[in-house]
Structure 1
Amino acid sequence: MNDFLNIHYLKRGNARQQKVYDLLQKTQIMKKLRIYQPILVGTIPIGIDLESSDLDIICEVKNEIAFQKHLQAMFRSYPCFCQKKKANYVVATFNYKDTKIEIFGQNIPTIKQNGYRHMLIEHRLLTILGPTFKSNLKNLKKNGLKTEPAFIKLLNIDGDPYKELLLLDNLTNIELQIRFSHLIPS
């Protein structure tokens, strides 16, 4: 299993992951955010991204005002820089060449944030259910479905996709194999 806490796994990944690794090295984004325990999350780390997928980086933020100032100081010179403060998080977006980057900050340790937890369960499911499931998932995404709803649709689960995925995270790999055995190729 990849150590998603260290971006070096991207060097050994697919072409897009290697490109992202180079981008992160050139821009030093992770280094610039290191005091916020940044983690690259989303579809790119687990290889289910589309050409239009952005980079999602989550951060642990104790002081939102300081974080906003840090983001402005580090990234406001990038094209399309935009920053928003919501009730319990801060998000900044900008572009680097042909890649959109989103930095999300919340007062929750990054390894406990939903973005990271979703990515981990999605990675486990992809590993267990195999390449056909992954291909079907990417097809749903190409047809406009977001990642979590696409997973839930293929798994034939009703309810809020974001909450349902978190519930699956409580299951062991063996329990997931049993529950979704009908989706595992023989």
Structure 2
Amino acid sequence: MFRTINYLESGNEVQRRAFQVIHQLGILEDMSKYNPVLCGTIPIAIDIKGSDLDIILEVYEPDRFSKDVKSRYGQLDGFVLRDLTMSDMPTVLTNFHYGGFEFELFAQPRAVEQQNAYLHMLVEHHLLMTNPQIKAEIIRLKEQGMKTEPAFAHVLGLAGDPYDELLVLGTELGVINGVGEL
């Protein structure tokens, strides 16, 4: 469902606006060789004011990717590009503003379907579909400053690291097969 953004076109107001802005920018086409996938709260309609458009990418040549991103988006407001190590993996994180949204590009040398942002979104979407009554509380906690995964963990009473616990729960529920695998 989340491999394309077509579902946004018939979504809520923020989702429809995101669909238009993403198409206007042409970022999915520009970044197509990196298998871009929109993740985060906007696709699953638990966004709050100021939520960004998180796009994850599969990148094995970070220097080439950084040059590509800088040449395409470096002139946009708030452009920042950082090289990091996350989960023992080289990561390129890019932020900029366009069309009333903040974009965050998250690039790692791992298939997008195995990246935590994608897996978390699948688990969260499943939880929202099977327990729609939790949506309002998740949004309320987010509006109070809690991050998405900790908000889910709080509502579900999960102990331990919320990011890890959501992956474990997703495996137990059969949403994902093993941590980091579909």
TM-score by length of 1: 0.90
Return the match for 2:52 from 27, 51, 54.
54
1:104, distance to aligned residue in structure 2 (A): 0.6
Match of 2:109 in 1: 107
Equivalent residue in structure 2 for 1:116, among 115, 118, 126? 118
Rounded Cα–Cα distance in structure 2 between residues aligned with 1:166 and 1:11: 29
Higher share in helix: 1
CA distance in 1, matches of 2:115, 2:11: 24
How far off its partner does 1:12 sit?
1.1
Map of 1:183 onto structure 2: none
For the pair shown, which has the larger CA radius of gyration, 1 or 2?
1
Residue segments in structure 1 that go unaligned for 5+ positions in a row: 175-186
Alignment of 1:145-184 (within 5 A): 145-172=146-173
C-alpha displacement of 1:77: 1.3
Question: Kindly, what percent of the aligned residue pairs are identical?
Answer: 37
Count of equivalent residues: 171
Letter of the structure 1 residue corresponding to residue 29 of structure 2: K
Q: Deviations over 1:23-48 (max 9, x none)?
A: 01100011111000000000000000
Query: Contact 1:56–1:104 at 8 Å: present in 2 too?
Result: yes
Q: Hey, what's the Cα distance between the residues in 1 that align with 2:167 and 2:134?
A: 19
C-alpha contact (below 8 Å) 2:21/2:99 kept by paired residues:
no
Unaligned runs of 5+ in 2: 176-182
- 1:1-186 map, 5 Å: 3-87=1-85, 88-130=90-132, 132-172=133-173
CA-based RMSD of the aligned residues comes to 1.2
